[in-house]
Amino acid sequence: MGGVHATGTPGATVWVLRGTVHPMTRIHELSALDLAAAIRGGEVSALEVTVDALERSEGLGPTIGAFIHLAHQQALTSAAALDAHPRTAQGSPLRGVPCPIKGLTMVQGMPWAVGSRVFAGQTATLDDGVTQLLRGAGTVMTGLTTVPEFGLPCYTEPDDQPAARTPWDPSRSAGGSSGGAAAAVAAGLTPIAHGSDGGGSIRIPASVCGLVGLKPSRGRVSPGPHGTDGVALSTHGVLSRTVRDTAAGIDVLSAHWPGDGYLLPDPHTSFLARCWVPPERLRIGVLTRPSNVDTEVHPACLRAVDKAVAVLEGLGHHVAEAPAPYAPDRWAAFIDLWSVMALGAPVPADREQELRPLTRWLREHGRSVTGVAHAAAVQRAQQLSRDTAVAWQGFDVILTPTLAQPPARIGQLRNDDDPERDFWDQTRFTPWTSTANLCGRPSISLPLHRERIDGIELPIGVMFTGELGHDETLLRLSVELEEAAPWPALPVPLAVEGG
């Protein structure tokens, strides 16, 4: 029973499994589902898995800015309790698997600064709803992953923490705002991590880190019982290296609390179970020109779409060009809604100047949005959703690049001297992601393409967006694509890691 360990490098030891299912496999190389199966089969204990994750996170995490907090004692205690009580979370497909939580989310007893120096030293006194669900599923929360201030930018470069970097090229950003989560999964510090997505914050890091990242449909994952829907741009999800791991994570998170403002019917069976059922032949629309901003799309991103189209057609799906979903002026609703959301944090007036320039600029814009203007923005967002439904009614799924450019270098998008330009540079970098948030549609980034840029192979994601409530369709299609055009399922070795 249990794992054995050999001498390692920066993670202290390299833990491998003994047994017949995964002989001599390094623990960190397993998917979340395979790791849970190894725990169930007695090849390794939950405690040994947790020790391995913590050692790797402590040794390698600072190199890529993955964590703002490692919860050694909490995690070890939780793992030991799972080993001592086999009936706890029995039947969960993720029992015993490490799953760090995004630093915007409350985990009782852990820091809760939401990426801002203004709230440094604050500790969460309770668990958020998604934290309760992941804990109930027997996952082990190894810590909190790095986030930018209030989760507002699409890069993760906090002032008082190391920037989150993609393990594929640590000179480049891991994206945001779930940047630390993506860096941790891509480097094998954890097989799965919690994230959230209000304008692309799961899919952007998934693309630049070579991961699977699903934004579920509006109403699939509740913000309750402590959070509210607000204008319903944001939702919770996970980042992982495989589609089935993502499906298992969404199964855990798909729950509702009394009083939820948006509610989808419960699926007839689990998303994970449906992943073994091939999808019907789908009508897939292709869109490679942004609707919300005028920007050039990098040839590598266009080649990623071309590759996806070739695979889809080879599988027998019907692929055709999709029309632009809405007029550019409709998207202005996102700016007003995002800026008002930035005002949600109760920052004391005498500490406003401690916020990052981008945060201050967004909050200033938010204060200029009157009640009437906010109501108009909500109406414009609803009309954008209607326009999109009409434009895409002939398609089951829409394919776009996830991003308009390859992974950005650290500091490339951040502009403290001109925060308005910072915002628009981010928009040009991520022109497609926010549409799914405005419409409430499910949307997934898949690492179907890689390309050498400046001498280094980098992941280039493609994005599939489905109809509201049709998360299952995206997951089943994604499994089919994963099997037809496999991407690297093993973590990315860091230069400091050695063999």
Cβ contacts of 35 within 8 Å, gap of 6 or more = 27, 44, 49, 96, 97, 191
CA 397 to each of CA 86, 150, 221, 325, 434: distance values in angstroms, whole numbers, following the listed order: 42, 31, 21, 13, 16
Which residues form the catalytic set? Answer: 102, 177, 201
Query: Helix 243-253 vs helix 129-136: angle between axes, to the nearest 10 degrees?
Result: 110
CA 467 to each of CA 52, 207, 218, 283: distance values in angstroms, whole numbers, following the listed order: 40, 21, 11, 12
Give yes or no for a contact between 203 and 444, defined as CB atoms under 8 angstroms apart. Answer: yes
CA–CA dist 229, 382 (Å, integer) = 15
Cβ contacts of 454 within 8 Å, gap of 6 or more = none
DSSP-assigned letter for residue 352: G
| Sheet architecture: strand order including 443-453 | 192-197, 235-240, 212-215, 443-453, 456-466, 397-401, 283-286, 318-321
Cα 28 → chain centroid: 19
**82-89: long-range contacts at Cβ-Cβ below 8 A with a sequence spacing of 24 or more?**
82/46, 82/138, 82/140, 83/45, 83/46, 83/47, 88/138, 89/136, 89/137, 89/138
Largest alpha-carbon pair distance within the chain?
Answer: 65
CA–CA dist 438, 434 (Å, integer) = 6
Give yes or no for a contact between 102 and 145, defined as CB atoms under 8 angstroms apart. Answer: yes
- R_g (Cα) of the chain, nearest Å: 21
- 417-444 b/e with 16+ CB inside 10 Å = b? eebeebbebbbbbbbbbbbbbbbbbbbb
Cα 185 → chain centroid: 10
CA–CA dist 55, 72 (Å, integer) = 10
Q: How many residues in the chain?
A: 499
CA–CA dist 392, 408 (Å, integer) = 30
Which of 129, 76, 159, 427 lies closest to 256, judged by CA? 129
Token representation of residue 74: 């909490």
CA 396 to each of CA 157, 167, 230, 405: distance values in angstroms, whole numbers, following the listed order: 37, 34, 28, 26
